[in-house]
Structure 1
Amino acid sequence: MELLPKTLVLCLALALARAAPVQDAAAGGVPDRCAGIEFDAIAPDEKGDTYFFKGSHLWKGFGGPAQPSTAHFKELTGHVDAAFRMHNTENPEDHDHVHFFLDDKVFSYYNHTLEEGYPKEIQEDFPGVPTHLDAAVECPKGECVTDSVLFFKGQDVHVYDIATKAVKTKTWSHLPGCTSVLRWLEHYYCFHGHNFTRFNPITGEVSGTYPKDARSYFMRCPNFGHGGDGKPVQCSEVKLDASTSDDTGRVYFFAGPIYMRMDTQRDGLHPFPITRTWKEVTNGVDAVFSYTNKIYMIKGEQVYIYKADAHFTLIEGYPKTVKEELGFEGAVDAAFVCPNEHRLHVIQGRMMRNIDLTATPRVVTQEMPLPFSNIDAGFCGPDGIRLFQGSQYYDYASLMILAMGRIAPEPKPITSAVMACED
């Protein structure tokens, strides 16, 4: 399949920062984050909107001007030391509530409304956690050992176990002094000055080249980042290479060297280089499908299989040839597995081939002609099947309708409701 033109790749990367006016300069005491400032706190709310705090102001999302903090959280009349969104699935009454720390007080909000009884002393809600914090961030079980909160003060990190209320203190002298910390798509970012450093939430280890300028990744500023002043991609220009969803319900779209992942509609659709998550897949993909907590990536004659944990791990012995692993040969246009099924559906030209994934060795069990060709990607979810062709897609309510159909349905255009693009 063709790789996306370079200009379109840059536009796709701007999907995380939908077009919004950029503040030109600080005026009347209003801070300008594009001038390179140090944030006091960063946290998402229960809807997935991320808020960046500086002094008595905040920014909602990755674009747009600063606003008074009281416009969104009316009781926050001063400097915010730290903030995080609670992850506590064992206690739904506290899950997704946003906590703000000011000096020795904690404020808890849900739906931008201060909870009854707040503010409280920090020790009342989080015993053993110091006052006058520098930063805080949630760390769910699986990324940390238990559902936890990491509180930062100086070079010390106080790991707070939500269930037991126990606190363990670590010293990460190798990590820059964090004035704010953000968990974003299972990655952890320490912000310091106008830069950030990504770190491991258990060890504090930093891997990769850091620090990096936050203006190139977490906000839309002229002459910074993925395309600078470029415009978001038009839906009519979209061309996918692959699409899938994993066992947790996360949806992935692949286009050229970039993939976009949507955890929930709340958290939006975010673009990253494929090699950031699947480092062995260096030249894009032809097809991707998910099965039994694994993600299969097909490129040419090879198939890579990754265990879908918090961080994808290539299974030992891979890649293997498509013939060896899946029992067929030839270029693959699209591949998908429907929820709770064990059949792989592979589209090659005008033919769809079914493979029983429970069989050893795997072989093609059925072949069915399709009423069209040149399919770029396929996806099967609870609502049916979508086959993508350029900037359009075919919608089928069920696999049976797709298999029995002899006339192609009317194609539908990709819209902003389908993925992050401009209609």
Structure 2
Amino acid sequence: MGVPTAALCLAWALALSCAHPLTPRKPEAAGGGNVHWAEPPSNDTDLTQICGDDVDFDAATLSENGTFLFFRGEEVWEISPRGHPPHARPVAASWPELGGPVQAALRLQDPQDQHSLYLFQGEQVWAYTGGQLRPGYPRRVEDEFPGVPGGVDAAVECHPEECGGETILFFKGDTVFSFDRALRVTKPREWPWPRDGPCSAALRWLGRFYCLRGSRFLRFQPRTGEVPPGYPRDLRDYFIPCPGRGHGNSSWGDAGDPCSETPFQALLSDDTGRAYAFRGGLSFRLDSHRDGHHAWPLRQTWPGLEGEVDAAFAWDGRAHLIQGSQVSIFLLDRGHSPVRGYPRGLQEELGVPSADAAFTCPGSALLYVISGNLLRPVDLTQTPRRAGDAVPLPHEHVDGAMCTSDGIFLFRGPSFHQYPSVAQLLGAQQPAPPQRIATHFFQCPQ
């Protein structure tokens, strides 16, 4: 697509998938998700308490507004993906009904997209919505979650694309309990771990799952408990902005800042509503406003992929990422596993020599490929695939394109142009009014 990109630079937040980054951050080595931090002031007393070798948390979760909450004794640390400095406060200041340390914490979403925070102590659980204790709480854990014993060490939600249904994983000692929210039944899980002791806390962030143990953590697959190579890792290199720690020493500059005006080179949205944006060798999730919009190195989200993505689209549960004259394919429902035999030539795979942008619309097998100011349709059900006749667009050039239930989005520079349908795009005599990408997709201030 030929758009100049800034030197790689990281956007922050914490790990585990809209946030405004924490000033200059640090990139990580290949592997699991993490937050990249600027070094905080060395006299920050809140941080010195959680940056020592004896750091250990009783519970961890995301709050209703996407802030990370780390509980330890009578205090809770807030670490915000929106760039605010981390700070500690008494648990009783926000949840006065508890009257003691939190043993496990959990954020749950209901069908109305409302989030509640569940805090566990011994045999009881408290539920808060909008910061207020819900009527009827506290309740016994076994009454709220039948089959789950009291005194759990950790809990984490798991969604259908990850666990096959709306599920909660509870950890108690060496046992993992899977609670089906629809059926309200609980089953113990047989996992190949924990090998090194139970989880003291658990987190889900941007579709990835983490077990915390002291100052270390594991990333795990929620159906099998499988842990990828390279774990355990140190919390202070990933989740906590401790002075002198973290990975790497170069920054991602504006490319990693969701609120910068740096152009995106490719975007895609699938039939489930998952959406991604690419620029400067980084990948963003667009549909993760509850967890924050964070930059990730391309290889970390899309295994084996390096460099910049020129165009992208999703079809039949697969993401197609185009780089130059080649296309790579990844299985969206299997942790972005790469499809064997790829990358392949773009001409061979799609019947086009190059692409500045590409998009498919929900439920459609018709791909639209944009080169310069021309759009060509490709029927993905045909073999071999061939591009149809070129149709001129009201744009000389676009950086990227995406189609959702809200219509067609064409991206250029810091702006996008929205059209209700393909027909209205092709019938337009002038570009639709420009709108700001950072404001609409990343909730950045005007």
Alignment CA distance shift 1:390-1:175 (3 Å): farther
User: Which of residues 347, 353, 367 is equivalent to 1:323?
Assistant: 347
The equivalent residue for 1:403 is 426
**CA distance in 2: counterparts of 1:318 and 1:156, whole angstroms:** 40
Shift of 1:236: 4.7
Q: Deviations over 1:191-246 (max 9, x none)?
A: 12233210122332211212223244334455444788978737454121101111
Preserved contact between residue 177 and residue 192 of structure 1 (Cα < 8 Å): yes
Alignment CA distance shift 1:353-1:204 (3 Å): same
Shift of 1:180: 0.6
User: Which of residues 363, 382, 394 is equivalent to 2:386?
Assistant: 363
**CA distance in 1: counterparts of 2:437 and 2:125, whole angstroms:** 44
Alignment CA distance shift 1:321-1:110 (3 Å): same
Instruction: Report which stretch shifted further, 292-301 or 383-392.
Output: 383-392
The equivalent residue for 2:177 is 158
The equivalent residue for 1:120 is 139
Q: Deviations over 1:37-93 (max 9, x none)?
A: 322111234444432222222234344311222343332331101112246x7xx59
**CA distance in 2: counterparts of 1:194 and 1:364, whole angstroms:** 54
Provide structure 2 residue ranges, at least 5 long, that are not aligned to the other structure.
Answer: 24-37
> What amino acid does structure 2 have at the position aligned with 1:361?
P
Alignment CA distance shift 1:306-1:57 (3 Å): same
| Map 1:207-222 → 2, pairs under 5 A | 207-222=228-243
Alignment CA distance shift 1:138-1:411 (3 Å): closer
**CA distance in 1: counterparts of 2:423 and 2:124, whole angstroms:** 59
The equivalent residue for 2:217 is 196
Matched residue SS, 1:269: coil
Preserved contact between residue 105 and residue 119 of structure 1 (Cα < 8 Å): yes
Instruction: Report which stretch shifted further, 331-340 or 355-364.
Output: 355-364
The equivalent residue for 1:174 is 195
> What amino acid does structure 1 have at the position aligned with 2:188?
K
Q: Deviations over 1:125-148 (max 9, x none)?
A: 345434333212223345336543
User: Which of residues 125, 138, 148 is equivalent to 1:106?
Assistant: 125
The equivalent residue for 1:84 is 106
Preserved contact between residue 107 and residue 119 of structure 1 (Cα < 8 Å): yes
The equivalent residue for 2:274 is 250
Alignment CA distance shift 1:391-1:224 (3 Å): farther
RCO higher in 1 or 2 (8 Å CA, sep ≥ 6)? 2
Shift of 1:175: 4.4
The equivalent residue for 1:144 is 163
Preserved contact between residue 243 and residue 253 of structure 1 (Cα < 8 Å): yes
Alignment CA distance shift 1:402-1:110 (3 Å): same
User: Which of residues 55, 58, 61 is equivalent to 1:40?
Assistant: 58
| Map 1:19-58 → 2, pairs under 5 A | 19=22, 25=43, 32-34=49-51, 37-58=55-76
> What amino acid does structure 2 have at the position aligned with 1:74?
P
Matched residue SS, 1:39: coil
**CA distance in 1: counterparts of 2:369 and 2:229, whole angstroms:** 36
**CA distance in 2: counterparts of 1:412 and 1:96, whole angstroms:** 30
| Aligned: 1:382 with 2:400 | no
Instruction: Report which stretch shifted further, 123-132 or 364-373.
Output: 123-132
| Aligned: 1:72 with 2:90 | no
| Map 1:174-323 → 2, pairs under 5 A | 174-225=195-246, 233=257, 235-323=259-347
The equivalent residue for 1:10 is 10
Q: Percent identity?
A: 37
**CA distance in 2: counterparts of 1:413 and 1:320, whole angstroms:** 35
> What amino acid does structure 2 have at the position aligned with 1:292?
D
| Aligned: 1:354 with 2:372 | no
RMSD: 3.4
Preserved contact between residue 3 and residue 399 of structure 2 (Cα < 8 Å): no
**CA distance in 2: counterparts of 1:421 and 1:96, whole angstroms:** 22
Q: Deviations over 1:311-334 (max 9, x none)?
A: 2233344332211221121x3111
- State the TM-score, normalizing by the size of structure 2: 0.80
Provide structure 1 residue ranges, at least 5 long, that are not aligned to the other structure.
Answer: none
**CA distance in 2: counterparts of 1:188 and 1:304, whole angstroms:** 26
User: Which of residues 338, 342, 350 is equivalent to 2:365?
Assistant: 342
Shift of 1:248: 1.0
> What amino acid does structure 1 have at the position aligned with 2:86?
G
Preserved contact between residue 145 and residue 184 of structure 2 (Cα < 8 Å): no
**CA distance in 2: counterparts of 1:196 and 1:121, whole angstroms:** 29
> What amino acid does structure 2 have at the position aligned with 1:208?
P
Preserved contact between residue 19 and residue 258 of structure 2 (Cα < 8 Å): no
**CA distance in 2: counterparts of 1:183 and 1:73, whole angstroms:** 22
Alignment CA distance shift 1:112-1:348 (3 Å): same
Alignment CA distance shift 1:173-1:293 (3 Å): closer
**CA distance in 1: counterparts of 2:243 and 2:250, whole angstroms:** 6
**CA distance in 2: counterparts of 1:310 and 1:260, whole angstroms:** 18
